[in-house]
Amino acid sequence: MTVSRRNLLTGAALLGGASLLRRASAEEIPPVPAPGTPMPKAVGYTPVVTPNVGSLPWTKGKDGAKEFHLVAEPVKREFAPGMIVDTWGYNGSSPGPTIEVVEGDHVRLFVTNKLPERTSAHWHGVLLPNGMDGVAGLNQPHIEVGETYVYEFVIRGSGVKMYHPHSDEMVQMAMGMMGFFIIHPKNPPPIDRHFCIMLHEWAIAPGTSKPNPAVMLDFNIFTFNGRCWPGTDPLVVKEGQRVRISLGNLSMDNHPIHLHGYAFELVGTDGGEVPKSARWPETTVDVVVGSTRTVELLADAPGDWAFHCHKSHHTMNAMGHDVPNMIGVNQKGVASKVQKVLPTYMAMGENGMGGMMAMGTPKNTLPMMTGKGPFGDIEMGGMFTVLKVRSGITTYDDPGWYKNPAGTMARKVAK
Ligand SMILES: [Cu+2]
């Protein structure tokens, strides 16, 4: 038999496994970190920032392994003020908290199932022994309601990976079960800020709070980390910093995510780091379903730069796609008459939809076009946030709106 590289690798991994891995017993299940538990000190890497979500604190096992405890459970998630959604997620959050490890770490991941149905945990893009891959039925039994499973392996490779269930996949991912799994390389690149944003889309009928997993195409709510604009936190960076933004997609559509004011380079996927010679400049990165994309830029242009999905229906909230097209139609008094028989009737305005932000909406439903900027309505919702690049800031708290220097702003010259 010829000894292939793969055989050697497998052999090495098995040897490593035999000496490093130790089966955890039920008594050794680490506690679920309470909200607000501080993260252990990051040694040798810059922790990522997952806006509106955060990272999962870990504890050190007796043998030095990093131990994480995920709890799969129903989660009430506020998408933006005025809308609370009955999602499923992990540890009180949808998406679940970000897991951060370092290449070479020995990790133990405990997963407790508090959902109303069975589940499993798959570590998407992580190189691991087959029995740790989490496809229920194929690699392991389903984790039944109330059970806790442990996954244990030594981290190989690096990059921005994800986790999600591989049990009743369609329902559980549509309900919001997903999170980032960040593997910091042993020799990290010199990055000052690294943001992680999970993209997702939902079908939630106006006036309700439960996502409909049966919908395949016609989604009406679009989120960055389980939040819709104006509920999304800004991405605050200091002028001159090197910034990475990682995007993950486990939804049913690709999302072309666009940044204003900059050209960035694609530097990583869930497969790992893109070699320097293979990078090219872009302003929009298409985040393919079932993958992550990481882009990098030098934040040398101060300002408030829009960052959003470029599918324009994905920057809307509660977008109804069966709205009658009334552009160019004189509808004076028509809507009020129709509303007498169809109270939820809504049509496009005669000259488009601008300025229709304040339309009445049912309970627990966000207006389609929403959000206030320093110069008026920002007529978007959904997958939208703002990259705020500032000089002289001492914290990453929201610095407010950018003040354009005199003579650097578009101005009215005729009426
Ligand atoms: Cu999109």
Question: DSSP characters for 96-149?
Answer: PPBEEEETT-EEEEEEEE-SSS-B--EEET-B--GGGS--BTTTB--B-TT-EE
Q: Does a structural domain hold residue 151?
A: yes
CA 256 to ligand 1 center in whole angstroms: 6
Residue with tokens 């914290």: 395
Q: Does a structural domain hold residue 201?
A: no
List CB contacts of 160: < 8 A, sequence separation 6 or more. 180, 182, 183, 196, 246, 248, 268, 269, 270, 292, 294
Q: If we measure between CA atoms, which residue out of 377, 378, 381 comes closest to residue 221? A: 381
pLDDT, tens only, 280-307: 999 999 999 999 999 999 999 999 999 9
Q: Does a structural domain hold residue 133?
A: yes
Q: Does a structural domain hold residue 309?
A: no
More confident: 14 or 100: 100
Please give the residue range of the domain that contains residue 165: 30-185
Q: Does a structural domain hold residue 148?
A: yes
CA 314 to ligand 1 center in whole angstroms: 5
pLDDT, tens only, 226-284: 999 999 999 999 999 999 999 999 999 999 999 999 999 999 999 999 999 999 999 99
- Measured CA angle at 400 (ends 389, 361), to 5 deg: 115
Q: Does a structural domain hold residue 344?
A: no
Tokens of 14: 């098995």
CA pair distance 73, 353, nearest whole angstrom: 39
pLDDT score of 292: 98
CA 162 to ligand 1 center in whole angstroms: 19
Q: If we measure between CA atoms, which residue out of 125, 159, 346 comes closest to residue 246? A: 159
pLDDT score of 388: 98
Whether omega before 230 lies within 30 degrees of 0, making that bond cis, reads: yes
pLDDT band at 370 (very low <50, low <70, confident <90, very high): confident
Q: Are 252 and 216 in contact (CB under 8 A)?
A: yes
When divided into structural domains, the chain yields a total of 1
Tokens of 341: 């028989």
CA 35 to ligand 1 center in whole angstroms: 31
Compute the Cα dihedral for 115, 120, 124, 126 and give only its sign. positive
Residue with tokens 């010259």: 413
pLDDT, tens only, 304-331: 999 999 999 999 887 665 666 666 667 6
Q: What is the CATH number of the domain that holds 134?
A: 2.60.40.420
Q: Does a structural domain hold residue 79?
A: yes
pLDDT, tens only, 345-359: 555 566 665 655 555
Tokens of 116: 């109303």
Q: Are 59 and 67 in contact (CB under 8 A)?
A: yes
Q: Does a structural domain hold residue 137?
A: yes
Mean pLDDT across the chain: 89
Helix (H) or strand (E) holding 341: helix 334-341
CA 8 to ligand 1 center in whole angstroms: 43
CA 212 to ligand 1 center in whole angstroms: 18
Q: Are 48 and 55 in contact (CB under 8 A)?
A: yes
CA 397 to ligand 1 center in whole angstroms: 27
